[in-house]
Amino acid sequence: MTSRLRRAAAVVAGLAAASVALSGCLYAMIPEQSTRPSTTKTPDTAGVSEELMPFYMQDLVWSDCGPGFDCTEVTAPLDWENPGTGEITLSVVRHRAEGTAVGSLLTNPGGPGSSGVDLVLNSLDFAVGPDLIENFDVIGFDPRGVGASTAVTCYDAPEMDEYLYGIPAAARGSAEWEAELLDAHKGFAEACEANSDGILPYITTINAARDMDLIRALLGDEQLNYLGYSYGTFLGATYAKLYPEKAGRLVLDGAIDPSVPGLEVGATQALGFESALRAYMQSCLDSGECPFNGTVDEAMADLGALLASVDRTPLKNGDGRLLGADSLMTGIIAALYSQDSWDYLTQAFDEALQGDPTTAFLLADFYNGRENGVYTDNSAEAFRAYNCMDYPVEDDPAAEAATDAKIAAGAPTIAPYWSGPDSCEVWPYPPTGTREEIHAEGAGPILVVGTTNDPATPYEWSESLADQLEEGVLITRVGEGHTGYNKGNVCVDDAVESFLLDDVVPEDGLRCE
């Protein structure tokens, strides 16, 4: 069997899940209830068909869910092409503008599968800057299949532990190893189908974009103002393609190139994470407190030896789990989303070299949404559901072999732990998505923010998307880590906020050092 890339193996685990420094801010307690009244404007129903009018005319019932926050649920069609076949529920949170609201700003943290409700409720000032908090009703929502919305459900916690952290019995790369992993993917897919109440065929980005238009209309906004991170850029670009006349001020930060097929996505990300890992390693060596020595190349070779050692002999954690090379790589990837997490990576390496997997598991658990033995979200399930429906199946052994060779040459440290059987090969439904350029003809200017050494959504994708869009405007943040806005770069922040607040379109190609 030809080794096949894990489809979008790391793909954009999501701003909310992986870009936050490991401070626990996403798990903060929601503040006490507020009694401030909420308001809802008249829904925008212009151009809505008769069969969809009941959805666009529904009354939203808002309840306080913290000081300044309102929460509600929106009813959407299960199948937008056949709206009479069933309904789903979308969970929505609103943080009311602290000043006079100029409108609503919808946000999406990425994934696919990250919770926009959690991001806004628990990390509002990470999601948006203070000027946006002052002037916009900031909206977070869980897309279909995610979190508190009608959700994809697959395994319980022990089953997820085995699926995500289990150690295969067969030797890595062997036919038996591939068969073992494919069988695990099949069991997971069957559980998702059995436990998700028939929603899997409809967990697509196109349907999620249509849901977003429904939310916009029910908020009373004639056009959508939107800030999407990571996968959220694909969701936002899809919206602009479907509803160009409704696309207001859209900012797409850490872009996905919608024209890139799955194999190329995986290869580009592998090279991106290898580049970010080398940048981390140089910083680690410069610190004088690095568990590795010598040049970057020598340190990377030593890291490769550590990964191979853990692959041969997994490290036992205090809770009984075994840390294999795949889980260690998951932890590495999690830390590379933000420079703020690099110290944790150094600690994980230092401990692992001494046989202690504690911090490595902390990083991997953070990536997987696991805390104290409990999965705090369904991001892993929703991630697979979206990707398996959005990405067409690729079955070209020659292309797969060429991709493997590209990864081996450009990402030698990561390569041994990147490829494997495609989990979507055994998904219960065939994909319905396409990979093609998005031009969004008829939409106004759309800002695309790219970071030069972003590992998860490499800079070249932001360049490509900005070039594809009929009125794409590229802003470049020179630096490390995933996404660019609200990361301490005043140039980026000013450009984004001037656009969202005052409709000031920055110069295309603005470069922020």
| Each residue's pLDDT tens digit, 185-200 | 999 999 999 999 999 9
Q: Which residue has tokens 């609201």?
A: 101
* Residue-wise pLDDT tens digits, 435-480: 999 999 999 999 999 999 999 999 999 999 999 999 999 999 999 9
Q: How far is CA 513 from CA 227, 279, 492, in A?
A: 22, 17, 9
pLDDT of residue 19: 43
pLDDT of residue 14: 46
Whether 260 and 284 have beta carbons less than 8 Å apart is answered as no
pLDDT of residue 40: 63
pLDDT of 4 > 50? The answer is no
Q: What is the mean pLDDT of residues 39-60?
A: 90
Q: What is the mean pLDDT of residues 13-28?
A: 38
Which residues are designated catalytic? 230, 454, 482
State percent of the chain over pLDDT 70: 92
Taking the C-alpha atoms of residue 159 and residue 157, their distance in angstroms, rounded to an integer, is 5
327-358 in b/e form (b: 16+ CB < 10 A) is bbbbbbbbbbbbbebbbbbbbbbebbeeebbe
Long-range CB contacts (within 8 A, 24+) of 406-410: 406/267, 406/271, 407/5, 407/266, 407/267, 407/270, 407/271, 410/267, 410/270, 410/271, 410/274
* Residue-wise pLDDT tens digits, 70-85: 999 999 999 999 999 9
Structure tokens at 208: 């999620």
Confidence of residue 210 (pLDDT cuts 50, 70, 90): very high
- What ranges in 229-341 are assigned the alpha helix state H? 231-242, 262-287, 296-312, 325-336
Structure tokens at 380: 């892993």
CATH number of 62-151+202-258+435-512: 3.40.190.10, 3.40.50.1820, 3.20.20.80, 3.40.50.2300? 3.40.50.1820
Taking the C-alpha atoms of residue 144 and residue 166, their distance in angstroms, rounded to an integer, is 29
Domain ranges of the chain: 1-30+160-195+262-390+393-430, 62-151+202-258+435-512
Q: What is the mean pLDDT of residues 293-316?
A: 98
pLDDT of 16 > 50? The answer is no
Range name among 25-29, 281-285, 310-314, 494-498 with the lowest pLDDT average: 25-29
pLDDT of 33 > 50? The answer is no
pLDDT of residue 2: 28
Q: What is the mean pLDDT of residues 384-406?
A: 92
3-state SS assignment for residue 45: coil
Taking the C-alpha atoms of residue 135 and residue 229, their distance in angstroms, rounded to an integer, is 20
pLDDT of 35 > 90? The answer is no
Q: What is the mean pLDDT of residues 294-314?
A: 98
pLDDT of 5 > 60? The answer is no
pLDDT of 404 > 60? The answer is yes
- The closest of 455, 384, 319 to 19, measured between CA atoms, is 455
Whether 374 and 157 have beta carbons less than 8 Å apart is answered as yes
Taking the C-alpha atoms of residue 267 and residue 5, their distance in angstroms, rounded to an integer, is 8
pTM passes above 0.75? yes
Whether 245 and 253 have beta carbons less than 8 Å apart is answered as no
